[in-house]
């Protein structure tokens, strides 16, 4: 897995983005059409709803692609710090879509349960059950595929899109249980499964929204990351002490502000070279660094 990840990271990021997006959109369109027809001819309202959920993934994948492409733009006069936060905006949109989808599925299931009309529903056909199995396998595969490249690109938008695929797989599991239960004479399992899956989808949406908001608010990196970074800087040649360390997330990139103490008897040139060395070594050994500011204090 590590070797594969290394090989993928050497590819052109835009090529990866376009390939993952194309597979996601084409796969979802084909799967949605298949599930919709299976729901119609198999007399399964759960499968028709599942098809609509898959169709929403087409929009989600497109938003993820657009957000990543925009975030890759070079800095300009109006945005001198780059455009990485546009990917967070894409994640916010994806999370909102996912939340709305889960809410719609849950309310629909609750409405059916409370109305008590599920006893009147026609038993689904076998084609609907087959469509649910195919959907679970396909969407789980798309989840792992998209998740892999989200890690390669360190992309929050693609990671959100991956979890959107996973939510669709969970939705199809609910459809499988509901359809199977209805075929066995327990029609109430269909709406009950929909409600349970809706809760899972809403939880995933919450996690995606929370992560996107956190990255847009200049949230500091984890304490583990800062500890590792502090130990690394303190161990560099010429650094007597690390006085201050601040980190913040800027989209999927990291800003670092540090103050180091060096021997006060060193010349300005020597102190500057130490700071430059620390700057270079941190960028070399830590990924996704957007900018580092090293301030030098005299050690007396």
3-state secondary structure of 289: strand
Model confidence band, residue 138 (pLDDT cutoffs 50, 70, 90): very high
Across the range 195-217, mean pLDDT stands at 81
* Across 23-27, 101-105, 236-240, least confident range: 101-105
β pairing state of 241-250 and 289-299:
unpaired
The whole-model pTM stands at 0.63
pLDDT at 204 over 70: yes
Smallest Cα–Cα separation from 207: which of 148, 171, 163? 163
Question: Rounded to an integer, what distance in angstroms lies between the CA atom of residue 198 and that of residue 107?
Answer: 9
Amino acid 277: pLDDT: 94
Q: How far is the C-alpha of 93 from the C-alpha of 272, rounded, in Å? A: 44
- How many Cα neighbours within 13 Å face the side chain of 266? 18
CB 191 within 8 A of CB 110: yes
Quote the pLDDT of residue 4. Answer: 53
Least Cα distance to 24 among 153, 161, 167 occurs for 161
Domains of the chain: 2-216 (1.20.1510.10), 223-299 (3.30.70.1350)
Within the chain, where are the H helices?
A: 2-9, 13-41, 45-71, 85-115, 126-153, 156-183, 189-216, 223-234, 268-285
The whole-number pLDDT of residue 3 equals: 54
197 Cβ contact partners less than 8 Å away, ≥ 6 residues apart: 102, 105, 170, 171, 173, 174
Question: The tokens of 197 are what?
Answer: 């899956």
Percentage of residues in the chain having pLDDT higher than 70: 94
Of 150, 162, 177, 204, the closest CA to residue 57 belongs to: 162
Give me the residues paired with residue 244 across strands. Answer: 259
Mean pLDDT for the stretch of residues 217-241: 91
- Go through the chain and tell me how many residues it has: 300
The reported pLDDT for the residue numbered 121 is 60
Inform me whether the pLDDT recorded for 122 exceeds 80.
no
Concatenate the DSSP letters of all residues of 79-109 into one string: -TT-STHHHHHHHHHHHHHHHHHHHHHHHHH
The per-residue pLDDT of the chain, averaged, comes to 84
Structure tokens at 229: 């970074």
User: Average pLDDT, stretch 49-59?
Assistant: 77
């Amino acid at each position: 897995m590590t070797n594969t990840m290394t090989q993928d990271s050497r590819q052109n990021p835009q090529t990866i983005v376009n390939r993952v997006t194309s597979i996601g959109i084409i796969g979802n369109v084909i799967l949605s059409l298949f599930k919709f027809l299976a729901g119609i001819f198999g007399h399964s309202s759960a499968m028709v709803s599942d098809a609509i959920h898959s169709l929403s993934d087409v929009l989600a994948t497109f938003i993820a692609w657009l957000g990543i492409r925009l975030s890759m733009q070079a800095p300009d006069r109006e945005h001198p710090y780059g455009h990485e936060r546009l990917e967070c905006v894409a994640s916010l949109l994806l999370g909102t879509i996912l939340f709305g989808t889960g809410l719609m599925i849950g309310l629909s299931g609750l409405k059916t349960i409370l109305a008590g009309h599920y006893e009147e529903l026609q038993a689904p056909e076998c084609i609907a059950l087959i469509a649910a199995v195919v959907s679970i396998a396909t969407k789980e595969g798309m989840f792992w595929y998209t998740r892999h490249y989200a890690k390669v690109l360190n992309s929050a938008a693609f990671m959100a899109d991956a979890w959107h695929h996973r939510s669709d797989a969970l939705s199809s599991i609910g459809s499988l249980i509901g359809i199977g239960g209805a075929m066995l004479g327990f029609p109430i399992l269909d709406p009950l499964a929909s409600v349970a899956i809706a809760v899972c989808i809403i939880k995933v949406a919450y996690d995606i929204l929370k992560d996107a908001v956190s990255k847009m608010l200049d949230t500091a990196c984890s304490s583990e990351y800062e500890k590792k970074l502090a130990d690394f800087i303190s161990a560099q040649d010429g650094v007597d002490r690390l006085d201050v360390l601040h980190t913040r997330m800027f989209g999927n990139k990291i800003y670092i502000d540090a103050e180091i103490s060096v021997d006060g008897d060193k010349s300005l040139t020597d102190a500057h070279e130490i700071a430059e060395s620390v700057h270079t070594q941190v960028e070399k050994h830590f990924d996704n660094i957007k900018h580092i500011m090293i301030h030098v204090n005299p050690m007396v």
